[in-house]
Amino acid sequence: MERITGGADYERTVKRQEELAAFFKAHAHMALAFSGGVDSAYLLYAGLRAGADIRPYYCKTVFQPQFEYEDAKRLARELDVELTTVELDILSVPKVADNPPDRCYHCKSALFGALKKRAAKDGRLLLLDGTNASDDEEDRPGMRALRELGVRSPLQECGFTKEEIRRCSKEAGLFTWNKPAYACLATRVPAENTIEQPLLRRVENAENALFKLGYTDFRVRVFHNAARLQLNIGQMARAAAEAERIRDALRPYFETVLLDMAGRKTD
């Protein structure tokens, strides 16, 4: 059990860890939709710690930046577990490439459908994901797809909040414990605008360039072919002061760079 201290919070977390361990003991040959993010990382760790037969599956598409894949591979190495990579041409799904308001539903259907199919070939009929109790299903159109495919979310079922998962992950020594939330690259393109791979690469490269300048927890969104930067409020003043430096860094990818004065919002 991870070393958590602090009265009622401690007791609550211990109870949830016990419930999670019991979940793993009640199921066999599990597959985990693994993103390399905070939630799926802790779920994988907890499953392995409980002695479960759990294997992580990473679905590689143009919607995932390379650093996410590298993080997934790193964590699998550190936990000494085999990572299965499933490649999917997500833009071949018309309802995804056309980018309608419910794109996330069609994307999750294709992505988790591919993972479930591959896992079944490996004899793993139960597919898990890292949805937690802090996630609002009403605000996540992709959740309907997961329910239709029978995907289980043990962290949510056991009541783990995001804050709790980060705390447990830190105690467990997982490098992902303080990793910022990251939504797929498709969220950078406004609804009803066709998603194309070259545009996604420009966005990814622009975000990499901004990260190298020392910015964190931001988004580079497409706005009429310009880059609209959504930064953490605490980094806005700095960005205004070094606007020319930012423009130079992003110029290879976007001719026009705009700063969203409203700051970073949740995806």
Helix/strand/coil for 139: helix
Q: Is 252 part of a structural domain of the chain?
A: yes
- pLDDT score of 6: 56
Output the pLDDT for position 139: 52
Q: Is the pLDDT of residue 137 over 70?
A: no
Last residue of a domain, one of 172, 204, 237: 172
Sign of CA dihedral 121, 126, 129, 135: positive
Residue 227, CB-side half-sphere exposure with 13 Å CA sphere: 28
| CA angle, 58 then 112 then 38, to 5° | 50
Which pLDDT does position 108 carry in this prediction? 96
Clarify whether residues 115 and 208 are in a common domain: no
Q: Tell me the backbone φ, ψ of residue 124, rounded to 5 degrees.
A: -115, 100
Contact call for residues 164 and 68 (beta carbons, < 8 A): no
SS3 228: strand
pTM score: 0.91
220-248 tens-digit pLDDT: 999 999 999 999 899 999 999 999 999 99
Residue 112 is assigned to a structural domain of this protein: yes
For residue 39, what are the contacts with CB-CB under 8 A and spacing of at least 6?
130, 131, 132, 155, 162, 165
Domain identity same for 93 and 210: no
* Per-residue confidence (pLDDT) for residue 262, from 0 to 100: 87
Tens-place pLDDT, residues 82-108: 999 999 999 999 999 999 999 999 999
46 within some domain: yes
Q: Is residue 178 situated within a structural domain?
A: no
* 185 assigned to some structural domain: no
Residue 64 reports pLDDT greater than 80:
yes
Of 172, 187, 219, the residue that ends a domain is 172
Residue ranges making up the domain that contains 236: 196-259
Contact 226, 199 (CB under 8 A): no
49 shares its domain with 15: yes
pLDDT at 3 over 70: no
The answer to whether residue 216 scores a pLDDT higher than 50 is yes
- Regarding whether 217 and 166 lie in a shared domain, the answer is no
Q: Is residue 227 part of a domain?
A: yes
1 confidence band (pLDDT: 50, 70, 90):
very low
Residue 8 pLDDT > 70 = yes
Average pLDDT, the chain: 93
Same domain, residue pair 64 and 120 = yes
pLDDT tens, residue by residue, 193-211: 999 999 999 999 999 999 9
What is the spatial distance between Cα 21 and Cα 257, in angstroms, rounded to a whole number?
48
CATH assignment at residue 136: 3.40.50.620
| Strand-pair category, 219-223 with 226-230 | antiparallel
Position 75 confidence tier, pLDDT thresholds 50, 70, 90? very high
* Confidence check: pLDDT of 5 > 70: no
Do 64 and 145 lie in one domain? The reply is yes
264 within domain boundaries: no
Please check whether residues 142 and 212 belong to one and the same domain: no
User: How many domains are there within the chain?
Assistant: 2
Whether 122 and 55 have beta carbons less than 8 Å apart is answered as: yes
Residues 129 and 217 in one domain: no
Whether residue 177 is contained in a domain is answered as no
Share of the chain above pLDDT 70, in %: 94
Residues 97 and 207 in one domain: no
Whether residues 80 and 113 share a domain: the answer is: yes
Clarify whether residues 87 and 132 are in a common domain: yes
Answer yes or no: do 99 and 137 share one domain. yes
